[in-house]
A = this chain, B = another copy of it.
């Protein structure tokens, strides 16, 4: 019997959840606390919010550029959301996983469904708000959207929560640090899965 070891290939971790639940904030803190974690940067056609930087928060593209990426199979998922498009560049993700690095995707619920088809072995984490009232407060508190946009978001958020059963884990985002710690624990645990251990006879 050879000595035991863990598999080299990295984990693909998908962090999703309803609009307004705080995916960006949670993933931002995860990134700070875990510099070795590869944080996939999405492509999007939406306008940058204040403080957002191209290549850091998102790759900001025109719709024409985005459609061309889609057609050439350069995105492992894409979604249209409230009039804007979001997507994840494929090559980047594959390269990092093959190099043994864990990659986190922070994506919308529609996109997560597509990733699940291409990467069924991914770890799917759904962020939940501590309450629906709190979700409403968070969406409104952003202050960047019209009342009708907020109402559309709330409606979408409520139906998105019904996709929960597709996910492996649900993390209630009650406090930012708690949510981060839970996701960190999930990563450690997933690396210990029996299927990732190699013992040869």
Contact between A193 and B164 (Cβ–Cβ < 8 Å)? no
Copy count, this protein chain: 2
User: Which residues on the B side are within 8 Å of A126 (C-beta)?
Assistant: 194
In the complex, what distance in Å separates the CA atom of A189 from the CA atom of B191?
12
User: Which residues on the B side are within 8 Å of A149 (C-beta)?
Assistant: none
User: Which residues on the B side are within 8 Å of A186 (C-beta)?
Assistant: 185, 188-189, 192
Of listed A132, A164, A169, A182, residue having the most chain B CB within 10 A: A169
9-residue interface stretch from A1-9, A57-65, A93-101: A1-9
Contact between A188 and B199 (Cβ–Cβ < 8 Å)? no
A171 at the interface (CB under 8 A from B): yes
Contact between B4 and A158 (Cβ–Cβ < 8 Å)? no
In the complex, what distance in Å separates the CA atom of A131 from the CA atom of B181?
31
User: Which residues on the B side are within 8 Å of A70 (C-beta)?
Assistant: none
Contact between B185 and A169 (Cβ–Cβ < 8 Å)? no
Contact between B194 and A170 (Cβ–Cβ < 8 Å)? yes
Kindly identify which residue among B4, B131, B184 contacts A172, using a CB–CB cutoff of 8 Å: B4
User: Which residues on the B side are within 8 Å of A125 (C-beta)?
Assistant: 192
Contact between A167 and B194 (Cβ–Cβ < 8 Å)? yes
Closest to A191 in B: B182
Contact between A188 and B194 (Cβ–Cβ < 8 Å)? no
Kindly identify which residue among B6, B161, B168, B185 contacts A188, using a CB–CB cutoff of 8 Å: B185
| Cross-chain pairs A/B with CB under 8 angstroms, 21 sampled | A1-B132, A3-B131, A4-B128, A4-B129, A128-B199, A161-B199, A164-B197, A165-B194, A167-B194, A168-B193, A169-B189, A169-B194, A172-B197, A182-B189, A184-B185, A185-B185, A185-B186, A185-B189, A186-B189, A186-B192, A189-B189
